[in-house]
């Protein structure tokens, strides 16, 4: 989320471009879900530009924004992390994945019972969702997303987890004050960090393969 339609459109286009580079540079098919995350985040920003243009409300753009931000990301992130870790080391990620599945189901149900409404609040866009026990839903969401990254055991993804958690606290504080929305900056940091992770995977894999071949020979 950015502070205007123009800011969302510019940020979304840039983030999506980083996502396209991530996908192109990914060597392993199992890394694609996480590598494609910036693409999803970029589309998310572009969708919100349309929400700004329509003045909020409960239209298709608002629904699309909510579907991506809430149930989809709650599942996408832990599933993507689970795909990328080595076999036999993913058991610790089953809890975040289960939390993501339950959270996504609760969010999807809430969105079908009552429509999501977007409201312009100063330099921010607020989204109203009728949730049962919202504190538990938020905790489940954070455990599924940030928790999965922190439990991945991958240095790059653990760093991403810390950056995402810290960024969420800062962005939420500014958003609550209706001062300015900086979620797009957080999405940009996530995307650039993921590009670095993709590049590190690209560099390590051939080196490891070459080392193994020399030992066999």
Taking residues 106-114, what's their average pLDDT?
93
CATH 1.10.10 corresponds to the domain 5-212 = no
Task: Find the helix or strand (DSSP H, E) in which 33 lies.
Answer: helix 32-35
- Per-domain residue ranges of the chain: 5-212
User: What pLDDT is stored for residue 209 in this prediction?
Assistant: 42
The model's pLDDT over 11-58, given as tens digits with 9 standing for 90+, comes to 999 999 999 999 999 999 999 999 999 999 999 999 999 999 999 999
User: What pLDDT is stored for residue 202 in this prediction?
Assistant: 81
Full DSSP string of 108-142 = HHHHHHS--EEEEETTEEEEE---SSHHHHHHHHH
**DSSP-derived secondary structure letter, 92:** G
Cα–Cα dist 141/136, whole Å: 9
User: What pLDDT is stored for residue 165 in this prediction?
Assistant: 87
User: What pLDDT is stored for residue 183 in this prediction?
Assistant: 74
User: What pLDDT is stored for residue 181 in this prediction?
Assistant: 58
Structure tokens at 71: 């149930």
User: What pLDDT is stored for residue 3 in this prediction?
Assistant: 75
The model's pLDDT over 63-83, given as tens digits with 9 standing for 90+, comes to 999 999 999 999 999 999 999
Contact (CB, 8 A) for 1 and 51: no
Residue with tokens 């080196």: 207
């Amino acid at each position: 989320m950015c502070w205007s339609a123009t800011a969302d459109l510019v940020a979304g286009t840039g983030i999506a471009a980083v996502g396209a580079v991530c996908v192109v540079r990914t060597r392993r098919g199992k890394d694609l879900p996480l590598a494609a995350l910036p693409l999803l985040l970029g589309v998310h920003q572009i969708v919100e530009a349309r929400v700004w243009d329509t003045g909020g409300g409960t239209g298709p753009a608002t629904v699309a924004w909510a579907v991506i931000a809430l149930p989809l990301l709650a599942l996408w992130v832990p599933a993507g992390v689970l795909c990328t870790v080595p076999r036999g080391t993913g058991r610790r990620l089953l809890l975040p994945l289960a939390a993501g599945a339950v959270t996504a189901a609760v969010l999807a149900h809430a969105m079908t019972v009552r429509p999501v409404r977007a409201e312009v609040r100063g330099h921010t866009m607020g989204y109203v969702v009728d949730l049962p026990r919202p504190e538990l839903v938020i905790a489940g969401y954070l455990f599924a997303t940030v928790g999965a990254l922190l439990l991945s055991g991958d240095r790059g993804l653990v760093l991403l987890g810390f950056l995402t958690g810290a960024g969420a606290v800062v962005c939420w504080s500014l958003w609550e004050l209706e001062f300015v929305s900086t979620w797009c900056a957080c999405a940009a940091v996530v995307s650039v960090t993921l590009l670095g992770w993709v590049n590190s995977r690209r560099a390590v894999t051939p080196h490891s393969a070459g080392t193994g071949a020399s030992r066999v020979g």
